[in-house]
Amino acid sequence: MPYTSYRGLSTEDVDALYAYLMTRTPMAVANKANTLGFPFDQRWTLAAWNVLSLLAKVAEPDPNRSDVWNRGRYVAEALGHCGECHTPRNLIQAMRADASYRGATIEGVEAPDITPDGLRRMGFDPHGLAQFMRLGLSAQGGATHQMFDVVHFSTQHMDEADLTALSAYLFDRDALPSEPEKPVAPTPVAVPQAVASRAQATYAGLCAGCHGQAGEGIPHVSVPLRTNALMRVASGSGLVRATLHGLPAQRFPGNERMEAMPPFANLLDDTALAELGTWMRAEWGGQSAPVSAEEVARQRAGLRADASK
């Protein structure tokens, strides 16, 4: 329950939420038992945590910024609570005020940096981001994991004005620019020829059928990889994870859907997947840091541990 963010909700919005909830038919569902270990199962510890973590006041509207920017801040920080997943946490698990939106890991999945620089690095421009929050799909790929839920249950239902404001705020603009701004495409980085040819052969054999010869994606079937955010974010862990585990078929707003992506854990060994990831991220994302076989092995071990639960 992200009450740390919801405490910024206006009284009007909380009243409206309450009025809406009161129109729902009650259901008899037993309360879940508290499964946390000592001392986290003690309620008073939360009070102590609140004293330490909720020191910062909820932001007041900034008179030096536009109404759009201020509305966007309210949508991002209170209603959308984007920081709960995208802001790294300190030792006592409170959001770090000095690192808002700089990226964090949620249940093993990287929630990327969504500061203006981070967004541009992934290939988003202000108009593209507003559209992504409505559709869950873009040239940067599809929303998956917790981000799929965010779009599915929440942002797709926002009106155009709120999506515009959200995007303007995250890009730190007072208004969206009149024209879409094309972000600079990354410059490919060279990888050793032998690695590149093995990776290209793997890509052509296993991936191109669904993702296109040049990683351009196939509308209504699969997402583009060439322009995908996972090629450009700091770590290759998301690319490795999707390839090892696969992804479920997902329905997106506007009757759009993506097929399921099969898991490749049995078809690619650690080195082959590391080389494939290294080449894709260098060629398409301009990332020089290679994906290591150790990273693949680590995620594969996690996969086995999950399967034996």
- For ligand HEC, the binding residues (CB under 6 A) are 76, 80-82, 84-86, 106, 109, 111-112, 114, 122, 133, 140-147, 150, 155, 170, 206-207, 209-211, 222-223, 225, 228-230, 238-239, 242-243, 247-250, 258-259, 261-262, 264, 276
Closest CB 96 distance from ligand HEC, rounded Å: 16
Check residue 234 and report its DSSP letter. S
Closest CB 135 distance from ligand HEC, rounded Å: 11
Please say which residue, 168 or 225, places its beta carbon nearer to ligand HEC: 225
DSSP three-state, residue 174? coil
Closest CB 159 distance from ligand HEC, rounded Å: 14
CA separation for the pair 218, 211 (Å, rounded): 6
Closest CB 166 distance from ligand HEC, rounded Å: 6
Please say which residue, 48 or 289, places its beta carbon nearer to ligand HEC: 289
Please say which residue, 132 or 307, places its beta carbon nearer to ligand HEC: 132
Q: Where are the alpha helices (DSSP H) in the chain?
A: 3-6, 11-21, 43-53, 67-74, 83-86, 116-122, 126-135, 145-149, 160-170, 193-202, 208-211, 229-232, 237-245, 270-285, 293-307
CA separation, residue 216 to residues 68, 92, 141, 143, 213 (Å): 35, 43, 10, 17, 7
Closest CB 271 distance from ligand HEC, rounded Å: 14
CA 4 distance to own-chain centroid: 20
Closest CB 48 distance from ligand HEC, rounded Å: 25
CA separation, residue 261 to residues 32, 152, 215, 243 (Å): 34, 19, 15, 8
Please say which residue, 25 or 153, places its beta carbon nearer to ligand HEC: 153
CA separation for the pair 256, 142 (Å, rounded): 11
Please say which residue, 95 or 242, places its beta carbon nearer to ligand HEC: 242
Please say which residue, 176 or 225, places its beta carbon nearer to ligand HEC: 225
